[in-house]
Amino acid sequence: MIRKVLFSICFLLVALVGFSQRKYTREEYIEKYAELAVSEMMRSGIPASITLAQACLESGNGNSMLSVKSNNHFGIKCKSSWSGKRVYHDDDEKGECFRRYNSVEESFLDHSDFLMLNPRYASLFKLKITDYKGWARGLKKAGYATNPHYANHLIRIIEDHKLYLYDEGLKKSQIARIRHRHRPADGKNLINPYQTRKVVMRNGLKSIVVKEGDTFQRIAQEFGMKEWEVYTYNDYPRGHKPQVNEILYIEPKQRKAAKKHRTHRFEADDTMHFIAQRYGVKLKRLYRLNRLKPGERPETGATVYLRSKKPKN
């Protein structure tokens, strides 16, 4: 009798373990995360079809070791600016550093931010949201992946599963439902009073991402500000035209970055203004922290100090 009971318990444990490790099919994965991808499309302007196709491809439909153990569904590596959790995994090279997330939703949010905040992907946001082929080819051209057939893989997934339908518009009731169900738990992403765009908190400050057709005058009117305030808060001279996908603040920036962002490695396509916007720091203050004169540019690979002053040589 005891043997039978023990056998039954063992069988149940094996069955439970097997069930917990059951692999997603591509159809199941798409069904599970489609609404999250659409929610991110509304926030960022990245086609939901592209987000879903990339997630399917990079995570093996949510079954890869990186996605299961680290919730990293887009294969995003640490990079110099990453200050979050890390995991090491063999990819192009042995033991490469990848970002580790607390949830799948956090991975999707960071994927959108990763594309929005990186200048190399800025041209993609000028494409129509329904141009999934342009997005796929643009991602490959910008260096998102090393696989020479990356764009074709994304297009194939999108067309095989008709993911382009998610990019072609939704009813107001569907949008309201998705916004309600996918409101970030930490409250960092807020919807402005006019319900026209998301206001995202960066370094404790309210910021927005520039959309097609935006002007400083329009942004000032939208948020009840004076036009000169938008220029001043973002360290721009009067007459500057905002660029699609750049970050703008609707309140004065801080004198230093958040505690988790102490330094930044200066990349070849960086500018001091871009870094100031990314971390919510006043541009003049950023120059002073790094012992630079306004207009001076650090060497590629140099450390840019975001909180404390650069040590003297």
E strand or H helix that includes residue 198: strand 198-202
What is the C-alpha to C-alpha distance for residues 96 and 72, in angstroms, rounded to an integer? 14
Domain 26-177 has CATH 1.10.530.10: yes
What is the C-alpha to C-alpha distance for residues 98 and 103, in angstroms, rounded to an integer? 15
pLDDT for 179: 46
Q: Whole-prediction pTM value?
A: 0.56
State the CATH architecture for 263-305: Roll (3.10)
In the chain, which residues fall in CATH 3.10.350.10?
A: 187-249
pLDDT for 197: 62
pLDDT for 108: 94
pLDDT digits (tens, 9 = 90+) for 48-72: 999 999 999 999 999 999 999 999 9
Taking 50 as the pLDDT cut, the residues of the chain under it are 4-20, 171-172, 175, 178-179, 182-196
pLDDT for 126: 82
pLDDT for 11: 44
pLDDT for 167: 84
- CATH number of 187-249: 2.60.120.1090, 3.10.350.10, 3.30.300.30, 3.20.20.370? 3.10.350.10
pLDDT for 176: 53
- Between the two ends of the chain, the Cα-to-Cα distance in Å is 79
pLDDT for 196: 45
Dihedral (CA of 227, 198, 57, 160) sign: negative
